[in-house]
């Protein structure tokens, strides 16, 4: 039985969490510190051990160079992050370390090994980013049974609490991403009508804008700040941002080079400082409504997910747009992981959930590059979508294409995903070289079939219509995707790292917190804390 358990994981930009399905409900598993959220932060400490989660996050301020956060933004791209002086990691490897830590917490809690997981990803993750997430799971020793879109997971957790049939929009504003989904729940079917999002917009951007406004207010040049001061300011602003939401206004007081600067942030100042971001929040909502063919008034419920939806300016903007107060009865931080655990139970065919059916949509268009005209002077290359975004998955579609030149001997099928008319502005996924019999232009044709499955994996099948020969390709040469050799090398590297044992993490997090406080204190307070730290370490 234990072997069948599928861990539900929310691998967030800022925070991650894991949960299991027990007694017909999701139970969130606490980490070594007893917290339900584990910061998605990785650090190398002074003796070369890797730290993950709370202990690593505490070091962001005191050791910014040997700590990394927000690496989810680099998933699926060829980019290595430097930590400390020597170590370099890809976002996939860093995510694998977070997953390993969650897995260890779950195993300690449940008392047996865990092999399977369902991991949530932003709806707007493209193919490369999805594959990187799967790779991370594998590097953590987990078989990833399913990837689930975060808003879909949230809807799943939310929808099952609902008695009535209804249509709702899920708004998930996390640390670095904004996801919007419109869903309908009826007769135990949860149907996704549309998804949209902005993969580079989240609560952290609000911090950045507030910092910029503060520095402008006090007349300090941003580039003159050292990394440590910046990080310290960042965590101050994080606190103040939360206070504004709660008390409508807060005082940001901050020391730079011995001088105290103060700025009172009320809601108006908050809106002024972040107006560009607030404007960007509108467009994914409007696009999702348009794609679903719905007016805001057709939405029965607005569900908020993700820590940054706690901002009062966000809430009032959403209330205005939809003409109703958003729902907040599900915990915005934990809804996604609960949905992932539920999906895990669905995959494992847990009997209590037999009746729930889930349909999902693909969040981007996929197609090939094609030419508009047979006249070489007028020929321009355009992107011809075969599967359009927001189709229900699994989906399979076929389109025909013809030769454009006399005596053409082959057609190069180049596969892209994205929404731009220009192929080169979209993400290139791979190509197929299809030999065709010679003839006059327009005589030979190929049928290109795209099949897209629930995990977001694309299969392309091309048939030469005159001969019936078929060519298939499972898209594999994704940027950032690891081949077997790279996977083995990565695994060896990760296995070779020293990781702090779970039971010592608590102590380490405490020391790191003390160090952080120490760096922000002065005078007698500082001396006192210093002495306490010396005692503690002895």
Partner whose binding site includes residue 242, from ligand ADP, Mg ion, none (CB under 5 to 8 Å by kind): ligand ADP
Which 3 state secondary structure label does DSSP give 177?
A: coil
Residues 149 and 170: their CA atoms lie apart, in Å, by 12
Residue 204 in the binding site for ligand ADP (CB under 6 A): yes
Contacted by 310, from Mg ion, ligand ADP, none: CB < 5 to 8 Å by type: ligand ADP
Nearest-approach distance from CB 210 to ligand ADP, in angstroms: 11
State how far the Cα of 514 lies from the Cα of 522, in Å rounded to an integer: 13
- Give the up-direction half-sphere exposure of residue 506: CA atoms within 13 A in the CB hemisphere: 8
d(CA 5, CA 7): 6
Residue in this structure with the two tokens 């009535």, named with its chain if needed: 164
Structural contact between residues 28 and 339, judged by C-beta atoms closer than 8 angstroms: no
Decide the pairing of beta strands 458-464 and 301-305.
Answer: unpaired
Q: What is the contact mask toward ligand ADP in residues 319 to 348, using x (rule: CB under 6 A)?
A: --------------x---------------
For residue 446, which of 472, 422, 420, 416 has the smallest C-alpha distance?
472
The residue from 176, 339, 344, 385 that contacts ligand ADP (CB under 6 A) is 176
We find the least distance from the C-beta atom of residue 153 to ligand ADP, in angstroms, to be 11
d(CA 277, CA 281): 6
Stretch 282-321: interaction string toward ligand ADP, x if CB under 6 A? ------------------------xxx-xx----------
Is residue 12 involved in binding ligand ADP (CB under 6 A)? yes
Query: Which of 203, 284, 344, 418 is the binder for ligand ADP (CB under 6 A)?
Result: 203
* Residue 423 binding target from ligand ADP, Mg ion, none, CB below 5 to 8 Å by type: none
Least separation in angstroms between residue 117's CB and Mg ion is: 16
User: Closer CB to ligand ADP, residue 41 or residue 353?
Assistant: 41
95 belongs to the binding site for ligand ADP (CB under 6 A): no
Give every CB contact of residue 276 below 8 A, 6+ residues apart in sequence.
209
Q: Looking at 18-26, 171-179, 192-200, 494-502, which segment touches ligand ADP (CB under 6 A)?
A: 171-179
Q: What gap in Å lies between CA 113 and CA 6, rounded to an integer?
A: 11
**Residues written for the chain:** 538
Least distance from C-beta 177 to ligand ADP, angstroms?
Answer: 6
x/- mask, Mg ion, residues 144-183, rule CB under 5 A, reads ------------------------------x---------
Tell me the two tokens of residue 84. 């400390």
Q: Does 12 bind Mg ion (CB under 5 A)?
A: yes
Count of helix runs (H) and strand runs (E) in the chain: 12, 27
**Tokens for 168?**
């709702």
Q: Which residues bind ligand ADP (CB under 6 A)?
A: 12-15, 174-176, 202-204, 238, 241-242, 245, 306-308, 310-311, 333
């Amino acid at each position: 039985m234990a072997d069948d358990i599928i861990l539900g994981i929310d691998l967030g930009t800022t925070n991650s969490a894991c949960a299991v399905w027990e007694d017909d409900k999701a139970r969130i598993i606490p980490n070594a510190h007893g917290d339900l959220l584990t910061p998605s932060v990785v650090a190398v400490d002074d003796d070369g051990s890797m730290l993950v989660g709370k202990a690593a996050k505490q070091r962001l301020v005191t050791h910014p160079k040997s700590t990394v956060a927000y690496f989810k933004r680099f998933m699926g791209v060829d980019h290595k992050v430097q930590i400390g002086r020597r170590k370099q990691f890809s976002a996939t490897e860093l995510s694998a370390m977070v997953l390993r830590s969650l897995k260890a917490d779950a195993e300690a809690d449940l008392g047996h090994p865990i092999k399977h997981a369902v991991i949530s990803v932003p709806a707007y993750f493209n193919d490369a980013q999805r594959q990187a997430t799967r790779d991370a799971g594998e590097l953590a020793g987990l078989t990833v049974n399913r990837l689930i879109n975060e808003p879909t997971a949230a809807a799943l957790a939310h929808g099952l609490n609902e008695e009535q049939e209804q249509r709702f929009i899920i708004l998930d504003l996390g640390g670095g991403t904004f996801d919007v989904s419109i869903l309908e729940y009826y007769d135990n079917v949860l149907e996704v009508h549309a998804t949209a999002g902005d993969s580079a917009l989240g609560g952290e951007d609000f911090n950045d804008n507030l910092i910029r406004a503060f520095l402008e207010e006090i007349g300090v040049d941003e580039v003159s700040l050292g990394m440590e001061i910046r990080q310290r300011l960042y965590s101050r602003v994080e606190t103040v941002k939360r206070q504004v939401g709660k008390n409508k206004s807060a005082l940001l007081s901050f020391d730079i080079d011995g001088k105290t600067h103060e700025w009172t942030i009320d809601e108006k100042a908050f809106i002024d400082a972040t107006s560009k971001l607030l404007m960007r929040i509108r467009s994914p909502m409007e696009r999702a409504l348009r794609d679903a063919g719905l007016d805001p008034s057709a939405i029965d419920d607005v569900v908020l997910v993700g820590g940054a939806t706690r901002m009062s300016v966000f809430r009032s903007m959403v209330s205005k747009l939809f003409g109703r107060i958003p729902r907040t009865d599900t915990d915005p931080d934990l809804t996604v992981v609960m949905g992932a655990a539920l999906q895990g139970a669905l995959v494992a065919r847990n009997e209590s959930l037999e009746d729930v059916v889930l349909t999902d949509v693909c969040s981007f268009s996929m197609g090939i590059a094609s030419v508009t005209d047979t006249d070489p002077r007028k020929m321009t290359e355009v992107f011809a979508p075969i599967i359009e975004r927001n189709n229900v998955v699994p989906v399979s579609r076929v389109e025909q294409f013809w030769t454009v030149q006399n005596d053409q001997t082959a057609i190069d099928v180049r596969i892209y995903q994205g929404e731009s008319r220009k192929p080169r502005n979209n993400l290139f996924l791979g190509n197929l070289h299809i030999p065709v019999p010679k003839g006059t232009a327009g005589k030979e044709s190929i049928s290109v079939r795209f099949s897209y499955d629930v995990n977001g994996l694309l299969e392309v099948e091309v048939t030469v219509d005159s001969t019936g020969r078929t060519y298939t390709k499972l898209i594999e040469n994704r940027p950032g995707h690891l081949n077997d050799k790279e996977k083995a090398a990565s695994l060896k590297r990760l296995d070779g790292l020293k990781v702090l044992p779970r039971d010592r993490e608590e102590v380490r997090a405490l020391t790191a917190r003390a160090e952080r406080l120490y760096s922000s204190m002065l005078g007698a307070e500082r001396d006192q804390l210093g002495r306490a730290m010396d005692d503690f370490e002895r």
